[in-house]
Amino acid sequence: MSKVDLKLGWCSHAAAKYAVEHWHYSKSMPAGKLVKVGVWEEGGFVGCVLFGLGANNQIGSPYGLAQTETCELVRIALTRHVAPVSRIASIAIKLLQDFCPGLRLLVSYADPQQGHHGGIYQAMGWVYVGDTTSDREVYFRGRWMHPRTVNSIRGTQVGLASRPTIGKHKYIYPLDAEMRAKILPLAKPYPKRAGSIAANAPAIHAGEGGATPTPALQTHQAESAESV
């Protein structure tokens, strides 16, 4: 089989929103400023990779880093595609590093409630540092969401149902050799795939596709992405 024509570049908010709402299990855009990387195969838009500050405004403090030195991989939203997700994520991270050269560490989470164990991060060599403490989520617009996302849309959680959630698997990814040496002692054995889920379902909902909300960008356009 011939090699797929894969291209990643900055995408519009509208394109990212389409991908997340159609191809990500959360169906919701994360709150806050985002760096939005679009993914195209054979000239067709197949999704996006999003980076942001996440829900934790002290995301870098456990590692002695300022908030500007750390960000979260918050969404990988893809329809049917050929290239491995690990390859797509790796290219997106390189684009992020070029755009935000001061970054030293990435953080991401795999949600066991969705049957995710972090297989993508394991394939890429991310460091697993354990599970987060239990949290809660709020029911809004027909689905359960993180409270911060609800606040960004509605301005308040008052009057909405909420429920506790179990902790998520936390992974971190160093962006330089010094940081890698610093975090490797924190590594724990990788969690295994949940037995009740046939696939890792890495934030991908295949089967809904074909939309091309934006063309592939040929050059870097800073106005299409926001600094984290």
Quote the pLDDT of residue 2: 57
Positive or negative: CA dihedral 20, 32, 165, 63: positive
The pLDDT value recorded for residue 135 is 78
Q: What pLDDT is stored for residue 221 in this prediction?
A: 31
Side chain identity, residue 206: A
Does the pLDDT value for residue 197 go beyond 50? no
Tens of pLDDT, residue by residue over 65-115, are 998 999 999 999 999 999 999 999 999 999 999 999 999 999 999 988 878
pLDDT at position 123, please?
A: 95
Strand partners, 221: none
Percent of the chain residues past pLDDT 90, beyond the cut: 59
Report which of 8, 16, 32 is spatially closest to residue 228, judged by C-alpha positions: 32
C-alpha Rg value of the chain to the nearest Å:
17
Asked if the model's pLDDT at residue 46 lies above 70, the reply is: yes
Q: Is the model more confident about 74 or about 57?
A: 74
Q: Are 32 and 71 contacting, i.e. CB atoms less than 8 angstroms apart?
A: no
Tell me the pLDDT band of 194, cut-offs 50, 70 and 90: low
C-alpha to C-alpha distance for 116 and 101, rounded to whole angstroms: 30
Helix/strand/coil for 222: helix
Q: How do the domains of the chain map onto residue ranges?
A: 6-107+198-224
Residue owning tokens 């540092």: 129
pLDDT > 70: percent of the chain: 83
User: What is the pLDDT of the chain when averaged over all its residues?
Assistant: 83
pTM of the model: 0.76
DSSP state of 109: E
Phi, psi (degrees; rounded to nearest 5) at 23: -125, 5
pLDDT in tens, 112-166: 887 889 999 999 999 999 998 777 888 988 888 878 778 888 889 988 999 888 7
pLDDT for res 214: 33
At residue 209, the 3 state secondary structure works out as: coil
- Quick one: pLDDT at residue 220? 30
- Helix or strand (DSSP H, E) at 20: helix 13-23
